[in-house]
Amino acid sequence: MTPTEQPFQPRPAHAILALGFFFAWYFLMVDGLWGYAQYVAIKKKILPSSIFVLILGIAILGFRRPKDASYDRRIMPIVYSWLCWMWVVVLFSTADPFASPFRILFGFYVNYWYFFLAALAINSSFRVREDFFLKLFYLGAIPIVCLGVAQGIKQDNFAIGTWISQEAAAFNLGFFGQRRSNSAFAHADDFGFFCGIVLSISLALWLDKRHIWLRLALTGLMGLAALGLYFTLTRAAYLMAACAMLGTLMIYRAKGKPSTALSWLPAGFGALAMMIYFAAPLVRLLSTSSSILSSSSLGERLYGNQYYFSELIRHGWYTLLTGLGWYVNGHYRATFAIDNQYIALVLSVGLVGLGLWFALTILLWKRLLAKALETRGPLLIGLAGACSPWLAQSMFNVTNTIAYVSIVALLVYQREPTKTTN
């Protein structure tokens, strides 16, 4: 424990709060399960998961922590700056008849909920015990992975996957005559990213534990997750999983020693993704139109980026700073799917918002890495590995993986060993 880390004394209410937080985190990550559960129970979706998180946040903020120096104190000023910037964007976007103030604010909440979840995690007076979180995680992860594998083997998304994809208006569940597995996610790539998180956490546990039966079980689970990942037929998910496992291995081998190379690991992955992103013409020469190496989707992304930048310029130069306030992939002029986090942020909240996003996500990454190296807990090492490709993922998808894993790191603590006296 570092000199700034305060000893944590759990209270009875913490178990209930931790359970509530896990389900909020889980249903936001497995983004189709919450709506499908309501559909099965009452035949309609009446409570979005984002509203569930908002309600939980209001409840948890009543359990405020008097003082805690175990997180980076620069995080909250950035969160407050973000909340203020939302209103600035609203003021500049009022001329758009589609983008009403309520629509813009709710769109920001849905797309950038991790700003709110970060505030919730920092200002609440509860934490989640590492072993407790791991048990809940695997109880939820194993059936989700198995469902995706079954979809791939049977080439059938079943009722759950079909309903969820239709509810989200997903259009990419097919790939050259094959079905993409989406498990209980709206999109196949989200399921692929989830498999990457399962792989990185399982690898960290495999490296940390020496029990033969546990290692065999983890090997089997990693095999299932790798199979589920393959059935997504999504190259961005393959890249994320490979980088996540490499990051996990590097962090584990660091043996708790801080390293400049590890701090810059996301930037290295991001540079690799950028090279791939702009290599579409070369890829086209090396592949056929019916191959998984096909560059057609890369070409469509580049064309879509040109379209959105022309939309920004058409509304005036200042929109490069403020954005247009568009609900990502939800505006009537968003005729191309936005599959790039950076483009989505500039279009939505401008270069200023993009800068705030960079500042917050980098601080969350540094905190997660430092805590993983400090505690050597397998969960935190695996989460740090899963987090490390977020800049690379952002080149190909609008993703919140950084939030899924780093917010947990703000709350997880390891149970102190029981001391015995003679």
Q: What is the DSSP secondary-structure string of 338-401?
A: ---HHHHHHHHHHHHHHHHHHHHHHHHHHHHHHHHHHH--HHHHHHHHHHTTHHHHTTT----H
Q: Which residues have C-beta within 8 Å of that of residue 282, sequence separation ≥ 6?
A: none
Q: Which residues have C-beta within 8 Å of that of residue 248, sequence separation ≥ 6?
A: 200, 203, 204, 381, 382, 384, 385, 386
Of 202 and 60, the structure prediction assigns the larger pLDDT to 202
In the chain, where are the structural domains located? Answer: 12-413
Share of the chain above pLDDT 70, in %: 76
Rounded to whole angstroms, the Cα distance separating 201 from 142 reads: 13
Containing H/E element for 128? strand 128-129
- Alpha helix stretches (DSSP H) within 254-317: 260-263, 265-277, 280-286, 296-314
> So what's the pLDDT on residue 4?
43
> So what's the pLDDT on residue 322?
87
Average pLDDT estimate for 360-386: 91
pLDDT digits (tens, 9 = 90+) for 395-419: 888 877 777 788 788 778 776 544 4
> So what's the pLDDT on residue 17?
72
Of 365 and 308, the structure prediction assigns the larger pLDDT to 365
Share of the chain above pLDDT 90, in %: 33
pLDDT digits (tens, 9 = 90+) for 235-257: 889 999 999 999 999 999 987 67
**Mean pLDDT of the residues in the chain:** 81
Confidence of residue 291 (pLDDT cuts 50, 70, 90): low
Average pLDDT estimate for 152-169: 90
pTM of the predicted model, to two decimals? 0.88
Contact 223, 145 (CB under 8 A): no
Of 37 and 9, the structure prediction assigns the larger pLDDT to 37
Taking the alpha carbons at both ends of the chain, their separation in whole angstroms is 26
How distant is the alpha carbon of residue 297 from its chain centre?
Answer: 22
Confidence of residue 275 (pLDDT cuts 50, 70, 90): confident
Average pLDDT estimate for 354-361: 91
SS3 state of residue 420: coil
Over 80: is that where the pLDDT of 198 sits?
yes
